[in-house]
Amino acid sequence: MSRMTVALKESVRPAVLTIAGSDSSGGAGIQADLKTFTALGCYGSSVITALTAQNTTGVQGVHPCPPEFVKQQLQSILDDIELKAIKTGMLHDASIVHVTAETLKAYYGASIPPLVVDPVCVSTSGHTLLQSEAVATMVSELFPLAALITPNKSEAELLLSHCGSPSKLESVEDMLPAAKTLLSTGCKAVLLKGGHITATMSEVKRISADHPEIQIVREGLLGGNMEILQISEEDPSSKALVIDVLQEADSTTLFVRPRVESKSTHGTGCTLSSALACALGRGKDFIEATRSATVYIHLGIETADPIGQGHGPLNHMHPIVIRSVPQPTPSVPHPLTRILIDSCRETWKAYVEHEFVKQLGQGTLAKECFLHFIKQDYLYLRYYARAYALLAAKSSTFSSIQAATATIITVINEVTMHRAYCAQWGITEDELKATPESPATTAYGAFILDTGLQGDASRLVMALVACLLGYGEVGLWLKKEAARPDSWVKLENNPYRKWIDDYSGEDYQKAVKLGLDAIEAMAVADPPSPVRFQEWQSTWERCVRLEQGFWDMSMGLL
């Protein structure tokens, strides 16, 4: 149950908003923002400030949106969706900056959710994305609403000029006072990005010595006691670094990581500010948000596929793994069981509608076949009980130990039924115990125990359910067929009626239901990777075949 709670908590998806331009090629702008939101598990909405015709080689055209329509888009969202964080990107001109700030202020007053302002001015390819007179409006109207602003080197230089502190940023040491100056514009924090400034570890050490109050967060660099990695990796500490400076009211933090040479950097700034909004929207502090967001873009750059002929986009999807088993829903509450049955439909049918089952339903099954089956099933159930004991031994909680043990008791009771049948037909318990084991029995029983040796508890459970569910299916099928007018199934005077009643009865079906729920819950709590799901599926299929073989054996040894 506690695993379910964890899974549910993780599925909470904060709603976030981007107010930015559109990049037709999909690597930057609201496209990058929406991809980031999705990959980081947030619900994304967007206000478009301008359309661009652009690709990885440059910006071919810009079509701004009228400010009043920017306002209308924003108002539609604010009126309807409870946002946990907002980011702004390319705002194009002063009137759009103004209407954005004004609308946010009018709606939220002082209680605005975390706002990340990426002061986009010029594209990587050199295209002007914010008209120069808009800078003043951005600083005076938007920055005071911001939780965080995220200028790069050239944006910071432009903003510093505007603040009356013109400065060229050539080193990390230049960045430190610049970040403090930018904080005075009224935002809560400044993340001054160092992507365009090459730094080295000696610079970090010097800063650390001069400013012991500055916190250093290292990412992608080897920490202490990692000599084993040092010798098999290139040592990045002697190489070029990228350093971002986070300036909060009363603290400065440097984020230090190795510089990666790559052509896949289109949309890095957009993506970073989106990832920051996601993290702040989840309630993370500035340091943790910056750490997780910079790791996200760093990995996005390094895992990018080449797209386009110029500076391609980073890979937004690297944190995503595709689910092998869909989530249960009201209309499909048992998706795993359906997939398992569908994956070997013919074999499953050959098992549950086996000739043995049909003759048993008709009451025409030769007594010798049934007795042979009962004796072998008696031997099989000894493996089965031991397998549940192994499952108990593989369990990590008292509740799972208890559940496995309860099944052992059920199996032992089931065996009592077998003894009763035998007694009824004059077979003593000693005779039952002395029955030589058929290869089909050994194959099935030993396969289950071997699966339990090889894999974890989930795989053992997969090996155990084909028997549990299959006998439940057989019982219900015979019961349903018997209910038809002029049915081929004869319950009256059927010597095997008790067997049919037992497996279609309430007690056994209750156990079937518990088994169904257990495997579905297992796939929800611990979603299997494709490789692992393949193991589950092939274990299930093997057992369905072994069940079929078990009845073949029972018929064949007439």
Nearest to a copy of itself of 124, 140 (CB atom): 124
193 is known as an active-site residue: yes
Residues with Cβ within 8 Å of 557's Cβ and at least 6 positions away in sequence, in order, are: 368, 369, 372, 438
Closest to a copy of itself by CB, 411 or 476: 476
CA–CA distance, 64 with 130 (Å, rounded to integer): 11
Cβ nearer to a copy of itself, comparing 114 with 528: 528
Closest CA to 491 of 322, 355, 360: 360
Two tokens at 155? 């944006």
> Is 252 assigned a catalytic role?
no
Q: How far is CA 380 from CA 255, 337, 357, 541, 545, in A?
A: 62, 24, 18, 18, 15
DSSP state of 143: G
Out of 36, 265, 290, 294, the active site residue is: 265
| Cα separation, 474 vs 496, whole angstroms | 13
User: Least distance (Å) from a copy of itself to the CB of residue 319?
Assistant: 5
Structural tokens at position 457:
């508890």
Q: In the numeric block, which tokens belong to residue 510?
A: 């209750």
CA-to-CA distance for 29 and 368, rounded, in angstroms? Answer: 76
| Of residues 3 and 433, the one with the C-beta less far from a copy of itself | 3
Q: Which is nearer to a copy of itself, 181 or 347 (CB)?
A: 347
Distance CA 350, CA 360 (A): 15
Q: Which of 27, 29, 269, 300 is catalytic?
A: 269
Q: Is the Cβ of residue 293 or residue 341 nearer to a copy of itself in the bound state? A: 341
- 270 included as an active-site residue: yes
Q: Please state the closest distance from residue 65 (CB atom) to a copy of itself, in A.
A: 6
CB of 224 to a copy of itself, least distance (A): 7
Contact 467, 384 (CB under 8 A): yes
> Would you say 176 or 278 has its CB closer to a copy of itself?
278
Which residues have CB under 8 Å from 107's CB, separation 6+? 75, 78
470 is catalytic: no
Catalytic residue among 26, 194, 267, 515: 267
Q: Could you tell me which of 390, 381, 554, 551 has the C-alpha nearest to residue 460?
A: 390
On whether the CB atoms of residues 341 and 538 are closer than 8 A, the answer is no
Length of the chain: 558
Q: For the CB of residue 33, give the shortest distance to a copy of itself in the complex, in Å.
A: 10
* Active-site residue identified among 270, 369, 422, 543: 270
Tokens 């108002």 appear where? 75
Sequence letter at residue 468: L
Q: What's the min distance (Å) between Cβ of 336 and a copy of itself?
A: 11
Question: Among this protein's residues, is 187 annotated catalytic?
Answer: no
Toward a copy of itself, which CB reaches closer, 80 or 213?
A: 80
Minimum CB distance to a copy of itself, residue 98 (Å): 18
Residue 361 bears catalytic tag:
no
Q: How far is the CB of 261 from a copy of itself (least distance, A)?
A: 10
CB-side exposure of 312: number of CA atoms within 13 Å?
17
Nearer to a copy of itself, 284 or 419 (CB): 284
Least distance from a copy of itself to the Cβ atom of residue 197, Å: 18
Query: CB of 100: closest distance to a copy of itself in angstroms?
Result: 13
Q: Of 224, 254, 223, 225, give the one whose Cα is nearest residue 241.
A: 254
Which tokens in the block code for residue 317?
């999807």
Q: Which residue bears the tokens 């790791």? A: 295
Write the CA distances from 6 to 11, 43, 84, 282, 325, integer angstroms.
9, 20, 21, 16, 18
H or E element: which one contains 49? strand 43-55
What number of other Cβ atoms are within 10 A of residue 18's Cβ? 30
Q: Which residues contact 246 (CB under 8 A, 6 or more apart)?
A: 179, 189, 190, 191, 192, 252, 253, 254, 255, 286, 287, 290
Find the helix packing angle between 345-352 and 335-343, rounded to 10°.
Answer: 90
Greatest CA separation found in the chain? Answer: 105
Q: Taking the complex as a whole, how short is the minimal distance between the CB of residue 423 and a copy of itself, in angstroms?
A: 30
Q: Which of 56, 268, 337, 539 is labelled catalytic? A: 268
Instruction: Give the tokens for residue 557.
Output: 């040894």
DSSP conformation class of 363: T
Residues assigned a catalytic role:
193, 265, 267-270
